[in-house]
Amino acid sequence: MHSLLPIFPLAALALAQQQPQVPIAPDTPRPAGPLTLDTIPRLGYGTWNLKGDNVSDAVSLAIQTGYRHIDCAAIYRNEKEVGRGIADGLAKAGLQREDIWVTSKLWNDHHGAASNVEAAIRQTLSDLDLTYLDLYHMHWPVSSTPDPEIEYLDTWDAMTTLLPAQQNLTRHLGISNFSPAQVARLLAHSPTNTPSVHQMELHPYLPQTAWLAFHRLNNIHVTAYSPFAGTNPTYSPGATVPLLSNPVITKLAEKRDCTPAQVALAWGLARGTSVIPKAQHAEYIESNFEVEGCELKEKDLKAVDGLGAEPKRFNDPSKSWGVGLYKGLEDAGGK
């Protein structure tokens, strides 16, 4: 799929690990465009925790508002409602399936053999009422199948059979929540079918700047999840000041005539990532989409960068699953 840059990935990885301040120097201009995957719409719509009786309405409204990228997952247990919303939104906006980008994710209980992986994507496609995905992620590098021998490399090999050259059920493959060592091992194992996208937690409280740079060097696009940090109601923010009421963010929002949410999204877009905010409130769906009108200056972006001085990760099931996750990354505490 994507050719690797002429840099041995492990060498680039070593660089990223040894020198957490590099390779993005303070004065390096931020990339304005996509990192590597020029067809992924960089503002997406997240669907985790969309629940109740207006899930389809919310997804449909998102498409009618202008979102062209919907981020789904089997484990969100709402793909049927999301699928109805996609169909409704496309019809009302006068669009075709090909006009939008739909992502979903393989859950941990379908790792391993190609038959497991194929059953999982076929269920997702049936629930979403689609014939193909644009992107299918391995949700976690963790198998919860009964076979203890199964590991993510096997699962990845099985996933590659879903690509256009074989079953043509997804246009691209991605990974999510991998550590540096896990990515390096995957790239060494599968040099021809490398991941197109890595979806990971990224926001001003967890900037992971060197890790992001590693992906740029290796031609892997990065999607930022939980762009509003601890705002997701299933997270435990503890004593952390909510990102959207952090004074650095609210003051910038006021100064640049943006909402605090738009400031967080604009910062993520300025780093070259795609961002996938979730919102069920109609007014948030609409105002988040207007991030394009929120213009931040380089000094504003630097002020937001300063919020990551003591990184804070909100999504870490290491302890509850009894596995080591995120080794070597910011705030890999294993809560």
Ligand X SMILES: *[C@@H]1O[C@H](CO)[C@@H](O)[C@H](O)[C@H]1NC(C)=O
Ligand Y SMILES: NC(=O)c1ccc[n+]([C@@H]2O[C@H](COP(=O)([O-])OP(=O)(O)OC[C@H]3O[C@@H](n4cnc5c(N)ncnc54)[C@H](OP(=O)(O)O)[C@@H]3O)[C@@H](O)[C@H]2O)c1
* Closer residue to ligand Y (CB): 54 or 167: 54
Q: Which of 125, 276, 291, 294 binds ligand Y (CB under 6 A)?
A: 276
Q: Of ligand Y, ligand X, none, which one does residue 178 interact with (CB within 5 to 8 Å by kind)?
A: none
Can you count the helices (H) and strands (E) in the chain?
A: 12, 8
Residues counted in the chain? 335
Looking from the CA of 14 toward its CB, the CA atoms found within 13 Å total 4
**Which region, judged by CB under 6 A, interacts with ligand Y, from 35-43, 113-121, 152-160, 223-231?**
223-231
Evaluate whether 105 touches 136 at the Cβ level (below 8 Å).
yes
Q: Where are the alpha helices (DSSP H) in 72-113?
A: 79-93
Q: How far is the CB of 6 from ligand Y (least distance, A)?
A: 30
Q: For residue 132, state whether it binds ligand X (rule: CB under 6 A).
A: yes
E strand or H helix at 46: strand 45-46
β-partners of residue 45 are 70
- Residue 108 backbone dihedrals phi, psi, to 5 degrees: -60, -25
In the structure encoding, which two tokens stand for residue 13, read together?
Answer: 């990885």
With CB under 6 A as the contact rule, the residue among 49, 115, 126, 168 that binds ligand X is 168
The residue among 12 and 105 lying less far from ligand Y, judged by its C-beta, is 105
Residues 134 and 71: their CA atoms lie apart, in Å, by 10
Quick one: what does residue 282 bind among ligand X, ligand Y, none, with the CB cut-off 5 to 8 Å set by partner type?
ligand X
Q: Using CB under 6 A, which of 17, 280, 315, 318 touches ligand X?
A: 280
**Collapsing DSSP states into helix, strand and coil, what is residue 45?**
strand
Q: What residues have CB less than 8 Å from 33, skipping those under 6 apart?
A: 272
Site residues for ligand Y, 246-275, by CB under 6 A, read 259, 261
Q: Per CB under 6 A, does 277 bind ligand Y?
A: yes
Q: Which does residue 174 touch among ligand X, ligand Y, none (CB within 5 to 8 A, set by kind)? A: none
145 binds ligand X (CB under 6 A): no
**Which is it for the CA torsion 72, 78, 84, 88, positive or negative?**
negative
Per CB under 6 A, the segment of 9-17, 65-73, 210-218, 276-284 that binds ligand X is: 276-284
Q: Which amino acid, residue 110?
A: H
Locate tokens 């793909």: which residue? 79
> Is 205 one of the catalytic residues?
no
Q: Is 139 annotated as a binding residue?
A: yes
Active site residues: 76
**Which residues form the interface with ligand Y (CB under 6 A)?**
46-49, 71, 139, 176-177, 199, 225-228, 231-233, 244, 259, 261, 276-281, 284, 287-288, 315
Binding site for ligand X (CB under 6 A): 54, 57-58, 61, 131-132, 164, 168, 280-282
Q: Residues comprising the binding site for substrate?
A: 139
